[in-house]
Amino acid sequence: MSIDEILNKTNLTCEEIKQLLAAEGEDKKKLFDRALQVKLKHLDNYVHLRGLIEYSNICTKYCLYCGVRCKNLKVERYQLSDEEVIECAKLAHKLGYGSVAIQSGERSDKAFVDKITHLVQEIKKIDNGSLGITLSLGEQTEETYRRWFEAGAHRYLLRIEASNEDLYYKIHPRDEKHDFKKRLDCIDSLLKVGFQTGSGVMIGLPFQSLDDLASDLLFFKQKDLAMVGMGPFIPHPDTPLWAYKDQIPPAEKRMELTLKMIATLRLMMPEINMVAATANQTLDPQGREKAILAGANVIMPNLTPNEFRENYLIYPDKANVKDKPSQTQSKLDESLAAIGHKVLYNAWGDSVAFMRKKALGQ
Ligand code: SAH
């Protein structure tokens, strides 16, 4: 099928997705142009912000790609105090971000679950619940997810990391702590509890094929997710996958493949929220803007106090580790204006796909 025919479809087959992911030259340009057109038609030129709070790098898992895996003894571990978290949230509110996202290494013990419940409740007290709350705190029981939802969080991100089980076990240890089926079940629990549920994958992993990537996009569509976050894989020297760093596509290729994944998914799911991940900016100073032009509509500026940021290095050379929030903001407004986009301040920026489904009672 010709690229023009494919670009006018929303129900793409695996083969058609692969054709888009492999597009080069004029065809590639057509893909990006079409994805931007679809995004502007459905979501306008607004970008939604979530002030990112990297709550803690204490983690019970040892995923083979992640710099904060518990087996990396070089990392100095931290957990923000309640006051620090509330200060971050107040700053997000003051800057007009509309939402915060709390991300952390993975723990599911009672003290952690209670602490998060309390923090969500406290954040909700700021200006009468005016901040939206996204959580990205890994695998938990359905009961925990429900508690956090009832406390006031309403969006949750849990990347599947790789929707192909074989690939999943090439990037995670095969043991009870890293169980593919459990991760899938968690996504189902989040949907059931009523979260705007997001997932995602890393792009350019060792052993990952175009078939895997096409299946990832079909997985997001099949789960009818409200949000997706995809970013390039960046090898970390203190992780087992570092050994495969020469067997992955070079940085520009990983970046380009990420942009093609974003653009293709925008055609398939025109109304979802898609984040321009910080990892894009790490590989390419213009990566965030490129992701917005390829179809992303959410940015997560980092609000973690600067002294902790260098300890939350899930991958090396993370962008913006040294930036101050006020600088981040003016830089962002300018760089978005330069590409014809603007931040929608003081709004939760919920997923249009999710809100439509809810209105229809589905
Ligand atoms: N513990 C939480 C948050 C994980 S950090 C959870 O499990 O959901 C957020 C995301 O960073 C991960 O889901 C993963 O996709 C991404 N990430 C981790 N290591 C990475 C690396 N080396 N390169 C690129 N992205 C990485």
Comparing 68-72, 145-149, 165-169, 327-331, the range with the smallest average pLDDT is: 327-331
- Say whether pLDDT at 254 is over 80: yes
Q: What average pLDDT does range 206-229 have in this prediction?
A: 98
Query: In sequence order, what are the residues at sequence separation of 6 or more whose Cβ sits closer than 8 angstroms to the Cβ of residue 51?
Result: 88, 89, 91, 92, 95, 97, 99, 100, 101, 300, 301, 303
Q: Is the CB of 159 under 6 A from ligand 1?
A: yes
Q: For the residues 284-301, what does the mean pLDDT come to?
A: 97
- Structure tokens that stand for 286 in this block: 């213009």
Q: In DSSP terms, which residues pair with 157 in a beta bridge?
A: 198
The best mutation among 202, 205, 248, 284 to test binding of ligand 1, ranked by most ligand atoms within 8 Å of the C-beta, falls on 202
In testing the pocket of ligand 1, which one of 65, 70, 134 has its CB within 8 Å of the most ligand atoms?
65
Mean pLDDT (whole number) for 240-269: 98
This prediction's pTM: 0.97
What integer pLDDT is reported at residue 327 of this predicted model? Answer: 74
Tell me what the mean pLDDT of segment 251-263 comes to.
Answer: 98
Q: How far is CA 359 from CA 99, 141, 250, 348, 352, in A?
A: 22, 28, 44, 17, 10
pLDDT digits (tens, 9 = 90+) for 265-280: 999 999 999 999 999 9
Residue with structure tokens 């509110």? 93
Distance 295 CA to ligand 1 centre (A): 21
Work out whether strand 227-232 and strand 298-299 pair parallel, antiparallel, or are unpaired.
unpaired
Report which residue type is found at 19: Q
Q: Does residue 39's CB lie within 6 angstroms of at least one atom of ligand 1?
A: no
Confidence of residue 316 (pLDDT cuts 50, 70, 90): very high
Does 10 score more than 90 pLDDT?
Answer: no
Decide: 279 in ligand 1 pocket, CB within 6 A: yes
User: What confidence category does residue 312 fall into, taking pLDDT thresholds of 50, 70 and 90?
Assistant: very high
- Across residues 38-61, what is the average pLDDT? 98
What is the pLDDT averaged over residues 321-332?
Answer: 80
pLDDT surpassing 90 at residue 9: no
**Nearest protein Cα to ligand 1, atom 11:** 314
Q: How far apart are CA 163 and CA 158, in angstroms?
A: 12
- Tell me, using a 6 A CB cutoff, whether residue 183 lines ligand 1: no
* pLDDT exceeds 90 at position 324: no
Number of Cβ within a 10 Å radius of residue 79: 16
H or E element, residue 81? none
Is 186 a pocket residue for ligand 1 (Cβ < 6 Å)?
no
Q: Dump the DSSP string for 337-350.
A: HHTT-EE-TTS---
Residue 184, sorted as left (phi over 0), alpha (psi -120 to 50) or beta, turns out to be alpha
Residue whose entry in the numeric block shows the structure tokens 């990392």: 75
Query: Per-residue b/e over 26-37, b at no fewer than 16 CB within 10 Å?
Result: ebbebbbebbbe
Distance in angstroms (rounded) separating the CA atoms of residues 224 and 134: 18
- Whole-angstrom distance, CA of residue 101 vs CA of residue 229: 13
Arithmetic mean of pLDDT, 308-331: 85
Q: Classify the C-alpha dihedral 226-231-233-237 as positive or negative.
A: negative
Residue with token string 């479809």: 9
**What is the CATH code of the structural domain delimited by 46-249+308-359?**
3.20.20.70
